[in-house]
Structure 1
Amino acid sequence: MRIPSLPFDLLASEGSVWTATSAGIEGAAPAGTDLFVDPSGDSGVAAETLLNAHTLLGTPPEGDFTLAAEVTPDFRATFDAGVLLAWVDDTNWAKLCFERSPAGAVMIVSVVTRGVSDDANGFIVDAPEARLRLARVGKVLAFHAHDGADWRFVRAFTLPRVATELSVGFEVQSPTGDGCRASFANIAFERRTVVDLRNGD
């Protein structure tokens, strides 16, 4: 799939459904879709989880960049989410989610996986959409979410080979529900260096 604002093509995971819209793209994930490796070891492994993921990924140009999109999931069940995804291989990846919590709130959530997943809640969003951003600065990745005025820092981390073998893109998930649709609008890619990852500048 080709998006005019991106300087690289995107490839959908097997069986996933993505469509172009006037504002960007939309994904429709069926029930039981997720990308998560339980750190307890009680459920799933990365390879199996990948086969169950609903993703759209491409390889960005070399160097520093940001990828941002306005994400609007339909939020019908717990853990329904629209996601920006950073992918190296099936054991090293990370996602920035706009997700419905078990309490029914919609919030920013991040997951960093190096063999198993490290899951962290961010902040609650009082709106049906959220603007999310992924940045690469050298060997470091950072997640930010916009609060309407400024970019708010969510997480900074690294993954193996992140400077040379990174793919980026989108995911939709519905691990506990009957399915989830999510739109990704105003998709923007910039070849730039975020000077201060902590404040998103």
Structure 2
Amino acid sequence: MNQVPDTSPLPFPVTASHPGVWRYDDAAGAVIAAAPARTDLYIDPGGADSADAETTLNAATLLGLPPGGDFQLSARVSVDFRAQYDAGVLLLWADETHWGKFCFEFSPSSAPMIVSVVTRGVSDDANAFTVEGHVVWLRVSRIDRVYAYHASVDGTTWQLIRVFHLGDDMTGHRVGFEAQSPTGDGCTVAFDRISFTPRRLAELRDGS
């Protein structure tokens, strides 16, 4: 098992995919990742015959198995964006062909953006909205058989980004963090104000 930082807000053990990427900054109260160059999680929906086909499964992850039942995992995410698609991510992981990414990502127009990617054999890609600055709050919630993504620019008012399904058997689904730099030489991602609540989200649409 790779060395992992102190993630005491999470009430379950976590495992790092890459040694030396993750650390805990006690002064900042943040989990920090130094995303390696040319790393991502993506399976091109166009297939192997697509002109720009890409399958990359080498991003740095920090994942653990949450307790059963509904939950909410949130964090404030900051990224020192350097290259296109640099991102800090809340990640849901079932297996190598089924996962969900909730990304704070650097868009092709050089604007920080909220992006979601759900992979069921192949990956989709959905842009939500741009963000002023390099900080945003992200939250993933499990509600019965579905997951929901919400984003917030102030940590108080949440906007629903996506609701989706990753399969009926959710017992092995892991959750945690990811850092990526698909086209660049790496970036630094910080996750702070981490909160895990084993409680059902009261209102799906407004995120309260």
What TM-score, normalized to structure 1? 0.94
The list of structure 1 runs, each at least 4 consecutive aligned residues, that deviate by more than 4 angstroms after superposition, is: none
Correspondences of 1:1-201 after superposition (within 5 Å): 1=4, 2-15=6-19, 17-22=21-26, 23-41=29-47, 42=50, 43-45=53-55, 49-50=56-57, 52-148=58-154, 149-161=156-168, 163-201=170-208
Task: Compute the displacement of 1:64 (Å).
Answer: 0.3
Contact 1:140 1:162 in 2 (8 A): no
- Distance (whole Å) between structure 2 residues aligned to residue 162 and residue 185 of structure 1: 30
- Distance (whole Å) between structure 2 residues aligned to residue 7 and residue 30 of structure 1: 27
* Gap change, CA 1:73 and 1:196, over 3 Å in 2: same
Identity %: 52
- Distance (whole Å) between structure 2 residues aligned to residue 182 and residue 55 of structure 1: 12
Task: Compute the displacement of 1:44 (Å).
Answer: 4.0
RMSD: 1.3
- Distance (whole Å) between structure 1 residues aligned to residue 182 and residue 54 of structure 2: 12
Contact 1:88 1:161 in 2 (8 A): no
- Distance (whole Å) between structure 1 residues aligned to residue 186 and residue 84 of structure 2: 11
Task: Compute the displacement of 1:196 (Å).
Answer: 2.1
Task: Compute the displacement of 1:16 (Å).
Answer: 5.7
**Structure 2 unaligned blocks of 5 or more:** none
Contact 1:71 1:182 in 2 (8 A): yes
- Distance (whole Å) between structure 2 residues aligned to residue 197 and residue 6 of structure 1: 23
* Gap change, CA 1:162 and 1:101, over 3 Å in 2: farther
Contact 1:13 1:54 in 2 (8 A): yes
- Distance (whole Å) between structure 2 residues aligned to residue 114 and residue 199 of structure 1: 26
**Partner SS state of residue 41, structure 2:** coil
